[in-house]
Amino acid sequence: MITISDTLKGILAGNSYKLYNRLISIQAGVVLADDIPAVDVREEADASLRVPETLSFKVPILDRGVSWVPSSYDHPLGIWGQRIVAQVGVGIDSGQVEWLTRGQFLTIGAETSGDSVSVQCAGLLYLVEEASLVSEYQPKAGATLGSIIRALVEPGLIVDLTTAPTDRTAPSNVTWSDNRLDNVANALDAWPAQAEVTVDGVLKVTPVPAEPTSALMTFSDTVNVEQFSSELSRDGAFNAVVARGAYPDTAGGLAGQEIVATGYDLVATSPFRYGGPFSPFLVPFGYESPLMTDPTMVQAAANTRLRTLRGTSGRTVSIDAVPHPAIKLGDAVAVTSARLGLSGALGRVQGYGLGHQPANAQAPLTVRLKD
């Protein structure tokens, strides 16, 4: 969750406050426009997508004598490296507004039609996604997983490894892809670690979080929620993760041999637990990476993947809530709904929509509940 003041926390705990929005256009660090006259500003995010975040808005073709049709390289709405810094403000007192930076977004399209320009933006991982390599990636000798991620992502995004798990050298006998983002994902999975783009446009690598034990905020049908809906699905369910790695060339007679480890769902309260009523069989989720080169590493990856993926076939709650401008993907939240029989059920935000203005300030959320 975005850091906010205690005053704002108290205001957002209610269900009545005024929203403001501000969009700033920058290119190569130079501010092109510090207050774009945008309407219909909408931010969305989906944790299942390779580039999770999007931003869209409209701008009048002509506003206060300024043309907003992007016709030059350095126009604020151009697609030549322009980034939009999106901010949301909340009125906290008479004439006072607390501003929150929601993030930086790359302008990827602008369509002029009628009397407005419709602009589409994507999260900064779009830069990595579109920049395919001309051949398979070859890391330097002795490269670590952290240095590999840096080499693949920078200078598009600065990589922050200060809170990353303990780094380790990547094996030299690995065949990499020519897709930058695939290689980054493989390095993170094998570490294991996760990465997110911060509101300042930095790719921050952190350990994979455990299931939440407390909530940053509660969504309740008596306070800040207009409607709840829920979905269950058995599709894609599993009760174990089978991870596969391979011994490196330096392992003597074991070189190249496969390493297999299984992480079983043995949590007594898990509805998918191995040996429980979910299935009389082993129902595996497969994961393979040549970056895992010893049994301890493979077992750790199996256990971590099990923990992070256990909820993928669990209960999903969709919420139409009062907008909360500090919410982000992965935030631990609690859900209370008499209609769904939930009382403080913990989960993490897997998707959201956030209007940045009062006129379209709808806030649908998708929460994957903890088993």
Cβ neighbours of residue 149 closer than 8 Å, sequence gap 6 or more? 159, 161, 184, 187, 188, 195, 203, 205
Residue 85 belongs to a domain? yes
Of 126, 142, 176, the residue that ends a domain is 126
Exposure string for 1-28, b = 16+ CB within 10 A, e = fewer? ebebeeebeebbeeeeeebbbbbbbbbe
Residue 1 belongs to a domain? no
Q: In this structure, how many other beta carbons lie within 10 angstroms of the beta carbon of residue 114? A: 8
Percent of the residues in the chain that have a pLDDT greater than 70, as a whole number: 93
Q: Please tell me the distance from the alpha carbon of residue 191 to that of residue 65, in angstroms, as a whole number.
A: 54
Check whether residue 63 and residue 183 sit in a common domain.
Answer: no
Check whether residue 266 and residue 221 sit in a common domain.
Answer: no
Residues 25/92, Cβ–Cβ less than 8 Å: no
- Single out the residue of 241, 293, 248 nearest to residue 262, CA to CA: 241
Structurally, the chain folds into a number of domains equal to: 4
Which pLDDT score is estimated for 159?
97
Q: What is the pLDDT of residues 276-314, one digit of tens each?
A: 998 999 999 888 887 888 898 889 888 887 877 764 445
Region label for 95, one of left (φ > 0), alpha (ψ between -120 and 50) or beta (otherwise) = left
Check whether residue 201 and residue 227 sit in a common domain.
Answer: no
The domain of 293 spans 240-306
- Alpha carbon 301 to its chain's center: 20
Which pLDDT score is estimated for 54?
97
Which pLDDT score is estimated for 41?
93
Spans in the chain with pLDDT lower than 70:
14-16, 222-233, 310-314, 358-362, 371
Residue 51 belongs to a domain? yes
